[in-house]
Structure 1
Amino acid sequence: MEQGPSNKKEPKPYNKYLKYSSVGLQLFLSLGIAAWLGYELDDYLNNKFPAFLLSFVMIVFVGMIYQLLKSINKDF
């Protein structure tokens, strides 16, 4: 019995690269929102040292890099 062409479509190689084309914008917006929230919270609590600003930015940055590396390892 002959098997016909499979119905599975192979993803085109450039689709993997297009997936990462907006990473810079995502990182920029995420860091901007985290910095703004941290700044507002520090201002509201009258902190002299920007602890929340730095904490939020670092948490978002580490999270985004982790997510990016995990996604890259899965795709490539």
Structure 2
Amino acid sequence: METNEPRSDEPRKPLKDDSRRANTFIQYSSIGFQMLATIGLGVWGGFKLDEWQGNQKPIWTLVLSLFAIGSSLYLFIRSLPKQP
């Protein structure tokens, strides 16, 4: 009885679907890291500005973190694939 499975001595060829999934995963995980870095820099910069000015309330931290979140979401939406 013959099977369609490759023999153990033949190398397995990667499937197009597997590589497409891997590329999609890499693309979206890099976007996630970019968002994390952008928001982190916004919070850090706001914290440092509040510290430098001696603010009692974290005004710059709030403003810059919200700006960084908005910027990250804008860049994420722009990076989505365009479908007709």
TM over 0.5: yes
- Taking the aligned partners of 2:43 and 2:61, their CA distance within structure 1 comes to 5
Structure 1 residue 55, shift from structure 2 partner: 0.7
Structure 1 residue 34, shift from structure 2 partner: 1.1
Give the equivalent residue in structure 2 for 1:44.
52
Structure 1 residue 13, shift from structure 2 partner: 3.9
- Taking the aligned partners of 2:67 and 2:81, their CA distance within structure 1 comes to 21
RMSD between aligned residues:
2.1
Please, which runs of 5 or more residues in structure 2 have no aligned partner? Answer: 1-18
Q: TM-score under structure 2 normalisation?
A: 0.63
Give the equivalent residue in structure 2 for 1:71.
79
Counterpart code for 2:31: V
Give the equivalent residue in structure 1 for 2:40.
32
Structure 1 residue 74, shift from structure 2 partner: 2.5
Q: TM-score under structure 1 normalisation?
A: 0.69
Counterpart code for 1:43: E
| 2:39/2:72 contact within 8 Å kept | no
Q: Which runs of 4+ in 1 moved over 3 A?
A: 12-15
1:60 aligns with 2:68: yes
- Taking the aligned partners of 2:49 and 2:28, their CA distance within structure 1 comes to 32
Please, which runs of 5 or more residues in structure 1 have no aligned partner? Answer: 1-11
Q: The residue matched to 2:80 in structure 1 has which SS?
A: helix
Q: What is the aligned residue count?
A: 64
